[in-house]
Homo-oligomer: A and B are copies of this chain.
Amino acid sequence: MYRTILPFLLSSFLILPSPALAEHTLPSAIKVDSKVAVLCNKAMKDNVAWKIVESVSTEVGPRPDGSEAEARARTWAVAKMKELGFQNVHVEKYNISAWQRGTEKAEVVSPYQQPLVLTALEPSAATPADGITLPVAYFQTFNDLQLAEDGSLKGKIAFVSNQMRPTQDGSSYGSQGMSRFVGPNLAAKKGASAIVIKSIGTDHSRAPHTGHTKFEPGVIPIPAAALSVVDAENLERICKRDDKVMLHLTLTPKQIGERESGNVVGEFPGTDGSAGTILVGGHLDSWDLGTGAIDDGAGMAITATAAKLAHEVGPHRRTIRVVWFGDEETGGLGGDAYAKQHSAEMHALASESDFGADSIFKFNVNFPESAKDVTNRIAAALMPLGVVRGTDVAGDGTDVKPMLALGVPAIDLNQDGTRYFDWHHTAEDTLDRVDIEQLRQNVAVWSTVLFITANAKEEFGKVKPKE
């Protein structure tokens, strides 16, 4: 055994790897600024980000768009930014058309009888106060709904399911999410009286996932709601036993008219006013069901803490501006309002954190050719934090999209989204979903990126936006 095992060990662990390595081009060695290690060290012990999420969860809670709670959240945000040492802290207000949840109830009334848990999608229309009782037209996927003939849903409640699987990059949300994004609009156009969808989620719980849905101009909104994944599975089993399922549905949400929303802005001014501002942030609003800890208390906390740490390391060339956007969830009016007010100012970079509180595993950029070396420096600096350099063009994010559309350079710091859609837009979006160690890794990555880009001698001119 001795004579046969040792050569095997040597060959597999010492000899074989060399030819394999040779197939890869070795990257050029890059010296990382020693201040990055100092920053990361501080970030990995940081409690500030955690305290921000804890504070907004405990002292504010749910803060839906246009609500009195969102106004309280702005007051909280201004005080918090000042406490963190931000300068020029102020609110930029704008109006939105607000919607408010009402009663939401559903029961299968035949062939069996049992209640189902669901929640209205915004901006769902209302049923009469005592509900509607109609046959269900079941579609296994959004594609099946698309195939339904025009008018075939008249007098029916469309029930559109999906088969969303967890994906690290969240890509399943885009495809399976069509049932929510445009399913209600399509069902309305095909004559449906109402629609219920299986929640766009990867959990197996009774917590339904709410969210925004878009009705085209000219399409009259219908009552639209998401069943919890478990309730949808139950309804699917019932639909497979009997094709004459009757549902009683009561939804009484309402449009409550023009209300105030606002972006809360703070910054750490740079030494070179002509070098452009770096815009980062998360959103302050949340859905009404949870306390908005992962969506997007975490994003606010990560970006603000990272800015504070990067600033504390020493003077920086560019201004770092943190914006806690108001309306993100019901149409992204916060980002629109920011772009309207600030489009004339030079921005060197724009990026947001709005994908939960899990660790960052990859980054992508959309930088001008002049800043190519900055990307290499970021890649080298993020290696110890386990962040891979991706090959996509950066440009994600509802809040910064209007600025990116103007050609502002972008960096996407992709968080692990494997579990994000277990809780996204549900009552389960609470402080319990936030892990302080993962939060710290986010702060380390963000502060590193802010430090490098805020101090880069390279210029950040306009780029072609991601399509």
On chain B, the residues within 8 Å of A428 by CB distance are 205-206, 230
Judged by a CB distance under 8 angstroms, whether A147 is at the interface is no
Residue interface mask A55-94, B partner, CB < 8 A = 1: 0011111100000010010000000000000000000000
Please state if A430 and B57 are interface contacts (CB–CB under 8 Å).
no
Closest to A241 in B: B58
On chain B, the residues within 8 Å of A241 by CB distance are 58
Query: A76 to chain B: closest CB distance in Å?
Result: 9
Q: In residues 14-60 of chain A, which contact B (Cβ within 8 Å)?
A: 54, 57-60
Please state if B61 and A114 are interface contacts (CB–CB under 8 Å).
yes
Contact with A58, one of B112, B207, B430 (Cβ below 8 angstroms)? B112
Q: In residues 245-292 of chain A, which contact B (Cβ within 8 Å)?
A: 290-291
Query: A419 to chain B: closest CB distance in Å?
Result: 13
Q: In residues 161-204 of chain A, which contact B (Cβ within 8 Å)?
A: 204
Judged by a CB distance under 8 angstroms, whether A237 is at the interface is yes
On chain B, the residues within 8 Å of A113 by CB distance are 61, 69, 72
Question: CA A60 – CA B237 in complex, angstroms?
Answer: 13
Query: A430 to chain B: closest CB distance in Å?
Result: 5
On chain B, the residues within 8 Å of A312 by CB distance are none
Judged by a CB distance under 8 angstroms, whether A431 is at the interface is yes
Question: CA A72 – CA B427 in complex, angstroms?
Answer: 32
Contacts A205-B205, A427-B206, A430-B206 given; does A291 touch B234 at CB 8 Å: yes
Chain A interface residue count, CB cutoff 8 Å, equals: 33
Residue interface mask A426-463, B partner, CB < 8 A = 1: 01101110000000000000000000000000000000
Please state if A61 and B112 are interface contacts (CB–CB under 8 Å).
yes
Q: How many copies of this kind of chain does the complex include?
A: 2
Question: CA A291 – CA B116 in complex, angstroms?
Answer: 10
Judged by a CB distance under 8 angstroms, whether A117 is at the interface is yes
On chain B, the residues within 8 Å of A206 by CB distance are 207, 290, 427-428, 430
Judged by a CB distance under 8 angstroms, whether A13 is at the interface is no
Judged by a CB distance under 8 angstroms, whether A115 is at the interface is yes
Contact with A114, one of B60, B233, B234 (Cβ below 8 angstroms)? B60
On chain B, the residues within 8 Å of A54 by CB distance are 237
Residue interface mask A201-227, B partner, CB < 8 A = 1: 000111100000000000000000000
Question: CA A307 – CA B322 in complex, angstroms?
Answer: 67
Contact with A432, one of B2, B233, B291 (Cβ below 8 angstroms)? B233
Closest to A236 in B: B58
Judged by a CB distance under 8 angstroms, whether A10 is at the interface is no
Question: CA A2 – CA B5 in complex, angstroms?
Answer: 11
Judged by a CB distance under 8 angstroms, whether A238 is at the interface is yes
Judged by a CB distance under 8 angstroms, whether A344 is at the interface is no
Query: A232 to chain B: closest CB distance in Å?
Result: 11
Please state if A115 and B57 are interface contacts (CB–CB under 8 Å).
no
Contacts A234-B291, A234-B431 given; does A114 touch B62 at CB 8 Å: yes
On chain B, the residues within 8 Å of A1 by CB distance are 2
On chain B, the residues within 8 Å of A57 by CB distance are 234
Query: A432 to chain B: closest CB distance in Å?
Result: 4
Residue interface mask A118-144, B partner, CB < 8 A = 1: 000000000000000000000000000
Please state if B432 and A230 are interface contacts (CB–CB under 8 Å).
yes
Q: 5 A–B contact pairs at CB < 8 A?
A: A58-B234, A61-B114, A61-B115, A62-B114, A234-B431
The 8 closest A-B pairs by CB, nearest first: A61-B114, A2-B2, A206-B427, A204-B432, A58-B237, A59-B112, A230-B430, A230-B432
